[in-house]
Homo-oligomer: A and B are copies of this chain.
Amino acid sequence: MHPLAQINKLTLDQLLLLVTVSEAGSFSAAAHQLDRVQSTISHGIASLESELGIKLFDRSRRKPVLTPAGLHLLPQARQILTHVRHFQSDAQSLAQGQESSVAIVLDMIIPLEVIPQSLQALQTQYPAVQWLIHTEMLSAISQRIIEGSSQIGFTGMLPRIKKNLVSEVIGKVDFVYVVSHQHALAQASARVTRHALESYTQLGVADRAVSDLGQIQTDRSWQFADLSMLLGFVLAAQGWAFLPLHLVWADLQSGRLQILWPQDKAEIRTEFPIHSIRLESERPGPVRQQLIQAFRQQFKAHDRQTPNQKTLMQVLKQEHSI
């Protein structure tokens, strides 16, 4: 007989018998619990013992009692059974359309705080799901969805042609114009003209698919593929930038950065909606649906802690009253 075939001899049912008998206290009680006849249990335990070549229960007394060997093997049998139950429940989840792994792609402009909190709840509810998280900017996000390397994305920029894509708004991110307090623009009044802006270097983000929609506003602009690097350049007074408020808020409060309020804008900040996007052809399972829900909630919670127009005005005045 084949060596691997030996495993067939041992049955999950036999392990179940071992566990059930030890818990029920007797073969008969176990038989009743398992809705079988006593002789079936007797036969099952006996066959298990003969296969293992070892006595598991001492039947010399009124009620069977585990031998040392049985006592040693019992917890292992238990563990195998619970492992099998996990296997089955995983299979059931998969059968009901739950994703086994979800690849997400996130826009870098999304506040870092909302991400772990959104995923945390999901992780406890769907412990079997494997997560793969990418971070991209601009059109690279929808690109990943279209080519299929991620199943769901959260982005501030929808592609021009939404062919095959389904999207919905799940939150917003506030953008503001900022500049270092050491920069020439910081010396002027709070409200700047668009012309003033254009006469200095803009520090902006680079889109991989820049040819597709290259909306470079000034010919002197520098481009970054990484927001933290960009922020470093802004802090070094290399130019002005249009950045997510949450990213620069700490530096605004400390005074290292200052807000610019273009004269043609009604509000200091500009809201950009964040969309969830996915392929139309792939129906989202429960995990992705819950994920969208969680992100929406977290965005809402995050908005409540976000500085409003009034607070921004105060920061603005404070800067220029110094």
**Quick check: A91 and B68 within 8 Å, CB to CB?**
no
Q: Is A210 an interface residue (CB 8 A)?
A: no
A window 49-68: CB within 8 A of B? 52-54, 68
Q: Is A81 an interface residue (CB 8 A)?
A: yes
Within the assembled complex, what's the spacing in Å between the Cα atoms of A234 and B147?
80
Given contacts A34-B4, A53-B95, A94-B54, contact A10 B71 (CB under 8 A): no
Q: Is A168 an interface residue (CB 8 A)?
A: no
Q: Is A20 an interface residue (CB 8 A)?
A: yes
Tell me the number of copies of this protein.
Answer: 2
User: Which of A82-90, A156-164, A247-255, A267-275 contacts the other chain?
Assistant: A82-90
**Quick check: B53 and A92 within 8 Å, CB to CB?**
yes
**Quick check: A91 and B53 within 8 Å, CB to CB?**
yes
Within the assembled complex, what's the spacing in Å between the Cα atoms of A16 and B4?
9
**Quick check: A7 and B85 within 8 Å, CB to CB?**
yes
Within the assembled complex, what's the spacing in Å between the Cα atoms of A92 and B6?
13
Within the assembled complex, what's the spacing in Å between the Cα atoms of A95 and B4?
20
Given contacts A34-B5, A35-B5, A85-B7, contact A91 B52 (CB under 8 A): yes
Within the assembled complex, what's the spacing in Å between the Cα atoms of A12 and B7?
8
For A94, the closest partner residue in chain B by CB is: B69
- Rounded to whole Å, the gap between the CB of A182 and the closest CB of chain B is 54
A window 77-109: CB within 8 A of B? 77, 79-81, 83-88, 90-92, 94-95, 100-101
- Rounded to whole Å, the gap between the CB of A21 and the closest CB of chain B is 13
For A8, the closest partner residue in chain B by CB is: B13
**Quick check: A88 and B4 within 8 Å, CB to CB?**
no
